[in-house]
């Protein structure tokens, strides 16, 4: 059968294109549909915690549950543009003691962060 | 008697839900099962026209839910088959009139006197469509071999698995079937249309039937006759096959090859 396919490759008819486009879009949509309910809450809580130490906006964090083979992969991407210690807005650790306690010097950027 | 609730749903509009609901319900009745077909499309009543009983509507689904009429005042008995009843919906613009507990009460009452309760869902994934699918025991997903229809069907299959009563109460999942309508073997042969196998593979649910695109469907709706009453019609026969498969019979798929029109039929015949 494979040899046949090599000899006579499937014509790229519009139906073949339709099938391929559908497979791709549905793979994406099913993955996001099957995402557990806790992801948005997790994202918000992470944002709160990270926001105590560095300035961060809600669009700078992305949480995804991916799948590769048999393993589920929780992927968290946090984008930080200059790790200045943030004065926490909610006042939970507003006096800056938390930053001191975790030994982060607000003056020097963390080594893994590109200076802006 | 404990009737089974079957929902015909699709997400996308215009794929043939009402035609299919009328045909499947009539097909079940022709096999002697007491069947009622309910229009869930509040505000856009059409099942009555397709069933040919539009002039006999007095009370409707919403009247019964609100207690303004008794069930047997609203049910319309089909003039062609004694086992078939039509339950029309209301033309009210208040879409939220379909209250879930009211619908449940009516369905439970219908289950006592019918074998099958066929629910014709509105298009979309709003309140009406969600209410129509919520109480289903089986779902027939009406799909056309076309990208937007297949995508919407996939979405609806996902909703049935998460938002139905069976899903919420951890019961046996809704039995989901694929009904591929408006299939054109000629266009499939030319590579212009998704094949049955393509759609089956993409949606990965069991196939109940393939309804060929057929002129007889428009003729049937023109006259208000479910297409299964037309013995000559390929679409009608394909619906009969689908009903038989739904009831557990094995039937070969038909009408998947382009029809060869004989010289005489081309000259004098109808499709």
**Which portions of chain A are predicted below pLDDT 50?**
88, 91-106, 109-116
Residue B217 corresponds to which tokens in the numbers above? 């469907």
pLDDT for the residue A11: 72
Whether A57 and chain B come into contact, CB under 8 Å, resolves to no
Cα(B10)–Cα(B157) distance, rounded to whole angstroms? 9
How far is C-alpha A32 from the chain's CA centre?
13
pTM for the model: 0.78
Give every CB contact of residue B114 below 8 A, 6+ residues apart in sequence. B1, B3, B34, B35, B36, B85
Tell me, yes or no, if B62 comes closer than 8 A to chain A by beta carbon. Answer: no
**pLDDT at residue A37, as a whole number:** 75
pLDDT tier, B198 (very low <50, low <70, confident <90, very high otherwise):
very high
Look-up of token digits 């109940």: B208
Residue in A113, A110, A93, A109 with CA at minimum distance from that of residue A101: A93
pLDDT digits (tens, 9 = 90+) for B210-251: 999 999 999 999 999 999 999 899 999 999 999 999 999 999
Query: How many whole angstroms separate alpha carbon B270 and alpha carbon B266?
Result: 8
How many C-beta atoms lie closer than 10 Å to residue A45's C-beta?
Answer: 11
Nearest to B120 by CA among B214, B45, B218: B45
Residue B127 near residue B100, CB atoms below 8 Å:
no
Residue B260 pLDDT exceeds 80: no
A26 with B195: Cβ contact below 8 A? no
Give the one of A15, A19, A26 whose C-beta lies nearest to B154's C-beta. Answer: A26
Q: How far apart are CA B176 and CA B140, in angstroms?
A: 6
CB contact, 8 Å: B198 with chain A?
Answer: yes
Q: Is the pLDDT of residue B202 over 80?
A: yes
pLDDT computed for residue A62 by the predictor? 83
Residue B146 has pLDDT above 80, yes or no: yes
Residue A13 to residue B194, Cβ atoms within 8 A? no
Instruction: Answer yes or no: is pLDDT of B264 > 70.
Output: no
| B192 neighbourhood in chain A, CB within 8 Å | 13-15
Distance from CA of B155 to the nearest CA of A (A): 8
Chain B nearest-CA distance from A63, in A, is 22
B125 contact A CB<8A: no
The pLDDT > 70 percentage for chain B reads 95
Mean of the per-residue pLDDT values of chain A: 72
pLDDT at A84: 57
Find the closest chain B residue to A31 by CA distance. B158
Taking CA atoms, B258 is separated from B164, B189, B194, B212, B228, in Å, by 39, 8, 15, 10, 21
Answer yes or no: do A15 and B151 touch at CB < 8 A: no
**Interface residue B150 vs chain A (CB under 8 A):** yes
Which residues lie closer than 8 Å to B59 by C-beta, 6 or more apart? B68, B69, B73, B74
- Which of B158, B192, B202 minimises the CB distance to A13? B192
Of B154, B190, B198, the CB nearest to A19: B198
Of B155, B158, B192, the CB nearest to A15: B192
**Which pLDDT score is estimated for A39?**
82
- Residue A12: what pLDDT? 87
Mean of pLDDT values over B161-169? 94
**Average of pLDDT values for B19-34?**
97
Q: What is residue A101's predicted lDDT score, i.e. its pLDDT?
A: 38
Task: Say if B139 is an interface residue toward chain A (CB within 8 Å).
Answer: no
Contact A13 B155 (CB under 8 A): no
Distance in angstroms (rounded) separating the CA atoms of residues B206 and B17: 18
Question: Which of the given ranges, A11-20, A78-87, B92-101, B171-180, has the highest pLDDT on average?
Answer: B171-180
Rounded mean pLDDT, B158-185: 96
DSSP letter for each residue of A58-72 = GGGEEEEEEEETTEE
Q: Residue B50: exposed, middle, or buried by beta-carbon count in 10 A (0-12, 13-18, 19+)?
A: buried
Residues 6+ apart with CB under 8 A from B32: B83
Residue B192: per-residue pLDDT: 95
Between B162 and A32, name the one with better pLDDT. Answer: B162
């Amino acid at each position: 059968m494979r040899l046949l396919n090599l000899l006579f490759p499937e014509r790229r008819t519009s139906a073949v294109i339709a099938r391929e486009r559908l497979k791709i879009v549905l793979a994406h949509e099913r993955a996001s549909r099957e995402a557990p309910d806790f992801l948005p809450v997790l994202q918000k809580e992470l944002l709160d915690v990270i926001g105590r130490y560095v300035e961060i906006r809600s669009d700078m964090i992305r949480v995804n549950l991916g799948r590769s083979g048999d393993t589920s992969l929780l992927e968290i991407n946090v984008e930080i543009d200059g790790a200045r210690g943030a004065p926490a807005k909610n006042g939970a650790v507003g006096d800056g003691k938390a930053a001191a306690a975790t030994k982060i010097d607000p003056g020097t950027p963390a080594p893994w962060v590109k200076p802006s | 008697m404990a009737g089974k609730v079957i929902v015909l749903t699709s997400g996308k509009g215009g794929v043939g839900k009402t035609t299919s609901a009328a045909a499947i319900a009539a097909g079940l009745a022709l096999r002697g099962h007491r069947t009622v077909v309910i229009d869930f499309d509040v505000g856009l009543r059409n099942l009555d026209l397709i069933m040919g009983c539009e002039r006999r509507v007095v009370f409707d689904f919403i009247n019964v839910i609100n207690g303004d009429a008794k069930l047997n005042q609203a049910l319309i008995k089909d003039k062609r088959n004694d086992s078939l009843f039509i339950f029309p919906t209301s033309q009210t613009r208040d879409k939220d009139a379909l209250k879930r507990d009211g619908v449940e009460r009516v369905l439970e009452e219908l289950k006592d006197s019918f074998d099958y309760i066929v629910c014709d869902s509105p298009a979309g994934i709003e309140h009406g469509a969600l209410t129509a699918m919520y109480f289903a025991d089986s779902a027939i997903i009406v799909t056309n071999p076309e990208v937007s229809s297949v995508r919407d069907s996939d979405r609806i299959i996902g909703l049935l698995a998460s938002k139905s009563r069976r899903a919420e109460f951890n019961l046996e999942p809704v039995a989901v079937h694929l009904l591929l309508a408006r299939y054109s073997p000629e266009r499939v042969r030319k590579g212009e249309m998704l094949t049955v196998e393509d759609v089956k593979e993409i949606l990965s649910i069991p196939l109940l039937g393939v309804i060929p695109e057929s002129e007889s469907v428009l003729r049937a709706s023109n006259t208000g006759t479910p297409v299964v009453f037309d013995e000559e019609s390929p679409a009608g026969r394909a619906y009969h096959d689908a009903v038989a498969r739904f009831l557990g019979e094995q039937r070969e798929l038909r009408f998947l090859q382009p029809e060869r029109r004989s010289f005489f039929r081309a000259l004098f015949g109808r499709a």
